[in-house]
Chain A
């Protein structure tokens, strides 16, 4: 079974630039998550999609972050403009079943973002 695919693996940008991350979940997984993991901290949920609809984006800084999941499959997370404090690993995860359940999450390897 193929895992969650993410790209790029690493990205270095200067502050105020824009950046985009891509995620392809496990085939058939209805739910997709984007997490932010700052060095030395646990992952923090940014946004959750159920198919192509947003279930929860309460912790997404909407003035600079945006995400979409067209056709209910792969997803893109964008930051524009980036700030120094956005330096983190951005993890994509997917799960098989629907919102409201405590289902096993499968994580990708993440994109490590450095903002200079």
Chain B
């Protein structure tokens, strides 16, 4: 069993739709949860960073963490064609620099 599971998709939505992405994990020591966005032929770029449980909102993006279920989510509201990318979840334990990444979900937003 992988430490972090992420549905690879692909996911195709019309412009303006809400995009819902999620990851599950098995390591209960994970405390830091991140979402990275990776455009084609580019490196990952940090999008959201959350510590422990709860919600965090940044513009059109909302990250949710449910540690009791070992489940994290990213929601993109009013999606735009520029949101078309691969979204990677990543997580680490407190004081541990190692990031465990999901496989990434490829999202296409159709104009």
Which residues from chain A sit less than 8 Å from chain B, CB to CB? 4, 31, 40-45, 48, 55-56, 91, 93, 99-110, 112
Contacts and interface: CB of A to CB of B under 8 A. Distances in A.
A31 B5 CA distance: 27
B101 A109 contact: no
B97 A48 contact: yes
Given A45-B98, A109-B42, A40 B32 contact: no
Contacts of A41: 103-104
B41 A107 contact: no
A87 to B, nearest CB: 15
B8 A102 contact: no
Given A40-B8, A107-B43, A100 B103 contact: no
Interface string B5-38: 0101000000000000000000000011000000
Interface of B: 4, 6, 8, 31-32, 41-46, 49, 88, 90, 92, 94-104
Contacts of A105: 46, 99
Contacts of B32: 102
B44 A56 contact: no
Given A42-B101, A42-B104, A102 B94 contact: yes
A40 B103 contact: yes
Contact of B97 (A4, A100, A110): A100
B46 A104 contact: yes
